[in-house]
Amino acid sequence: MSSELTENRRWLFKERSHRKDLECQRKSNVADFHLQDFHGVAKDYAGYEFDVCYTSVLKRAIRTLWLVLDSIDQMWLPVHRTWRLNERHYGGLTGLNKAETAAKHGEAQVKIWRRSFDIPPPPMGPDHDYYSVISKDRRYGDLTEDQLPSCESLKDTIARALPFWNEEIAPEIKQGKRVLIAAHGNSLRGIVKHLEGMSDEAIMELNLPTGIPILYELDKNLKPVKPMQFLGDEETVRKAMEAVAAQGKAKK
């Protein structure tokens, strides 16, 4: 493999979490990582080196990044955190787990909210249990009122994530930096959609496996040299993707 391709390797990493919420920014102390499962695929990370890391301001993504950096012995790398890489804001559905939401609203409606490109869920109103928690959270203290949404569609999530990619991450890659991103399913889907040139319909059906890195090799124009590569054995990746696809179904 040429040195140019090696230098332009990039990882996208969906956060490892066992939260049961359709939430984006609810305060929680998500510490229930399946460390045994994580380290079971950590062997696939050996030999990768990075120069700079990016993650959201949500604990589960930050802790996922810690686990990755610890497993590759690069805890010293610089890390940039941004709300723009946060998970999608599920508005009025925040605090409900996926199965309960499906039982209440129906699986078809939940799939529309979760998988349609431009249809947001119901907004989070001032009477919502977590409204004051989020609106007064210091992590978002510098945001203007229009930057702090009450709900988001996938289109909205991509609209806030992509400017950060274009303005902050892409210039680093063009300088030859090897970049590691630990974020969330929907913010990462936005980056994948951009890199792959996927249609709105195609990105809605893409299930990114949780806890399994995606390797991208980019050319000088930041175009993929080849399709995304999942770092993990085929069976592990398949099961992880099926688990994501099964979310939002009511429990029998």
Q: Are 195 and 216 in contact (CB under 8 A)?
A: yes
Helix (H, G, I), strand (E, B) or coil at 17: coil
User: Is residue 114 part of an annotated ligand binding site?
Assistant: yes
Q: How far apart are CA 117 and CA 10, in angstroms?
A: 26
89 is in an annotated binding site: yes
186 labelled ligand-binding:
yes
Structure tokens at 120: 């947001």
**CB contact set of 3 (below 8 Å; sequence gap of 6+):** none
Q: According to the annotation, is 87 in a ligand binding site?
A: yes
10 Å CB burial of residue 125 (0-12, 13-18, 19+) is exposed
63 is in an annotated binding site: no
- To the question of whether residue 185 is assigned a binding role by annotation, the answer is yes
**Residue 248 is which amino acid?**
G
Give, in order, the Cα–Cα distances in Å from 57 to each of 73, 76, 138, 224: 22, 19, 11, 27
Q: Which residues are annotated as a binding site?
A: 60, 87-90, 98, 114-115, 185-186
Q: Which residues are annotated as a binding site for substrate?
A: 60, 87-90, 98, 114-115, 185-186
